[in-house]
Amino acid sequence: MQLLASTIHEQIPRMNEYRIRLRFIGDRSQLSDDLQALMADAEAKTADFEAMTLVIAISYGGQWDIAHAAKQLAQQVEAGQLRADDINKELLGNYVQLADAPAVDMLIRTGGEYRISNFLLWQSAYAELFFTQTLWPNFAADELAAMVKEFAQRQRRFGKTSEQIVIEQASR
């Protein structure tokens, strides 16, 4: 974790220069108190930047994310601040990591793996998936461009069938 700490120290001036917001997602309780404090400080120093957001997932898993969100809601039910009947997917979605960010549209998995490996499970529910044998260090702009072109040609259905999409479009 020393590498992460030194990288944060080194890169904060660059984040300030380019107005990049830094965010961390994951179970921080697994990290040292010093690293947690450094991460919180870096997030606070860049919180108002809007040019770009860099999200670093550390000690993160999609299953943990959903369980953590459910636990937060359960605590509110126990405290009488919320009724269990009020919980729905929209409310649960407000408690996952990156709840304030748009859902994932396109997920690219490099290195020949054909799984999403417990990453952003909630946020990737309707993502279009792309797989490549290319290892991440060798992944180049031309391959990305080809995937973006294919993405643009796909019919985004968000859990609906093609027939349902046609009916919706006809009724507009």
What pLDDT does residue 159 have?
A: 87
Query: In 10 A of CB 62, how many CB atoms?
Result: 19
123 and 69 together in one domain: no
Of 48, 74, 101, which one is at a domain's C-terminal end? 101
Q: Do 119 and 97 share a domain, yes or no?
A: no
Check whether residue 83 and residue 55 sit in a common domain.
no
Residues 34 and 6 grouped into a single domain: yes
Q: What is the pLDDT of residues 118-165, one digit of tens each?
A: 999 999 999 999 999 999 999 999 999 999 999 999 988 888 898 998
Looking at the structure, tell me whether residues 111 and 159 fall in a common domain. Answer: yes
Can you give the pLDDT at residue 165? 87
Is 108 in the same domain as 156?
yes
Our count of domains for the chain comes to 3
Token representation of residue 83: 């009724």
Tell me which residue range forms the domain holding 45: 1-60
How many CB atoms are located within 10 Å of the residue 103 CB? 14
Note whether 113 and 126 are same-domain residues: yes
What's the first-to-final CA gap in the chain, in angstroms? 54
Closest of 149, 171, 167 to residue 157, by C-alpha = 167
Mean pLDDT of the 74-93 span: 98
Same domain, 109 and 143: yes
Regarding whether 167 and 112 lie in a shared domain, the answer is: yes
167 and 113, same structural domain? yes
pLDDT tier, 166 (very low <50, low <70, confident <90, very high otherwise): confident
Please indicate, yes or no, whether residues 92 and 120 belong to a single structural domain of this protein.
Answer: no
Q: Of 28, 45, 60, which one is at a domain's C-terminal end? A: 60
Choose the final residue of a domain: 101, 129, 157. 101
Give residue-wise pLDDT tens across range 38-53.
999 999 999 999 999 9
CB 122 within 8 A of CB 161: no
pTM of the model: 0.84
Q: Is 135 exposed, middle or buried (0-12, 13-18, 19+ CB in 10 A)?
A: exposed
Q: Does 170 lie in the same domain as 108?
A: yes
